[in-house]
Structures are given as structure tokens and as C-alpha cells.
Amino acid sequence: MPAKKGLGSKGKGMEALFSKKLDSINEGSAQKVLNIDMEKIQPNPNQPRKRFREKSLKELSESIKNVGVLQPILLRKSDDVYYIIAGERRFRAAKLAGLTEIPAVVKEGDDSEIFLMALVENIQRENLNPIEEAESLKRLMDEFHLSQEETASRIGKSRAAVANSVRLLNLDPRVKNFLSENKISGGHGKALLGVSDKNLQYKLCVKIINEDLSVRAAEDLVKRYTEKKKPAEKKENSPFADFENTMSDALNTKVKIVAGKRKGKIEIEYTNEGDLLRLIERISNPRKN
């Protein structure tokens, strides 16, 4: 699949290197395709996609039995082992089909470059579920010190799309699991972010699934519950909504401004110690972000 324009880096150093590595993904046609022993191939430990649907794999396996592997997978060699950069689904299906060798193009690169290649390849093919994509984008920003805008340019998406994706990580773990299983969409998850009570968030998610509600219907459902539960608080906070949204997008987490008669406070939500350290780094070094 041709790379989307906009992935190239305008920066220097490591970012420029990553850009060149990404461009090289699509030069497979100019490189020799080798038949690699399946026993020498290992999955990429940093593979962004964690779930592979069994039914889909079986269907692809049957296709491979009939017509073979039509597109080579992408590998990186380390000693006598080949690690998958892109094409793990094809590799798994080929194993199911009983193949002992698979066509592949071998690339060079270190672990961080390989992760970046795999991430962009998967996102461009839209093979990741919403949580896998959100986790991968967050890791991409944290490890390579990229802002939302820079990240968006590298994967061919808008900054708002990146921000909305990463915010899904603030959902209740049970809701995130539903997202991972594709029982609800990213749009449903975004609507549920409007519910601060995690238990209520989960209950509304179950209702959305059971009643097969559209994203618009889910938004209306959340609106009814939040207005009924905290009408006074919502009215009080409304003057700060724009500031809260701006700060939430900048920090990739929920931010709440609480105003008092004489003084107020800003509440910044974090999920774990690693997330807290990320926030401290982002606030302490804003120029890096």
C-alpha cells in the first residue's frame, strides 16, 4: 500500500531518520523477494496489533492454500532470526495453511525504527482496534517525543483524530475491553468519555451494546444521564469548558477547572505512575511537545 503523503519529517536528527525509514517501507518492489523458512521467523514483540480474529485468519488461510501469499511480508533480520515488521496476519494464516516458507522482503533497522514502521503500516491499513491504535499513538508520542500535530502528520490523520484516539485510554477498563473486542466503536467510546463516574460509564456502555445504539443515540443517552445527574455542576463548569478541552488535548488526559469564591484549582487526571511521569515531563518541558 503506497504511503500517505505527510509522513515525512520536517525536523532533523532522529525524526528525519525515522522519516527515511518509513519511506523505505514501500521500496519492496525494488528489492529482492526471498522465500524465508517459517521456522526462522518470530513475531515482532512491539507489534501494535494484539488481537487476531480466528475466523478472519481461517478465511485468509484458505485463500493462501488456493492462491498462495500474494504480498510479501516485511522482515528484519537479527542474527539467524527474522522479526516481522509488517504482515503478521499473513504469517499466521500461512502457518495455518501449512506453508514451510513465505515470500518476504528483508529490511534493516533498530527496534525503535521497526516499531514506527509497524505502527504506521497497521494504522494506514486500519487493522488496529481503537484501543490498540490509542496505545500505539501514545507510545509513539512518548518514545519519540512527538506532539499531537507531529504525530498526526506522520500517520496521515488530523490532530483532532489523534487527540480523540488517545483520550480513549481514559475510559473504564471494562469499556476499553469492549472497544478492544470491537463491540463498540471509537465514536461510542468518545461519547462515554463525557461520563466521569466509571461505574455509570460501564453501565451505559452495556446498554449501548444490548440495544445496539448508534453513536448519535449513545451521545444522546450520555447527555440525558449527565444532565439529570449533575445539572448544577454542569452549569457552574460551563464557562471553563473551552479551557478544559484545550488543556485536555494538550496533555492527552482529562483536565477539570474547579472555581471557588476566592481561589480555584486545576485537576489533572492520570491513570498510573507511568502516566504521571509522562504528564510531569510534558508540563516541565513544553517545548519538546
| Residues designated as active site | 88
Dihedral angle computed from the Cα positions of residues 92, 93, 95 and 97, in that order, rounded to the nearest 10 degrees = 170
Provide the 10 A C-beta neighbour count for residue 232.
7
Torsion sign across C-alpha atoms 276, 165, 156, 53: positive
> Would you list the DSSP string of 14-41?
HHHHHHHHHHHGGGGGGS--EEEEGGGE
Rounded CA separation 188/200 (Å): 14
CA distance to 36, 41, 47, 257, per residue, from 80 (Å)? 11, 9, 20, 56
Rounded CA separation 38/100 (Å): 5
Dihedral angle computed from the Cα positions of residues 235, 213, 193 and 260, in that order, rounded to the nearest 10 degrees = 10
Rounded CA separation 117/107 (Å): 11
CA nearest to 218, candidates 182, 198, 189? 189
Q: With contact defined as beta carbons under 8 Å apart, do 159 and 190 qualify?
A: no
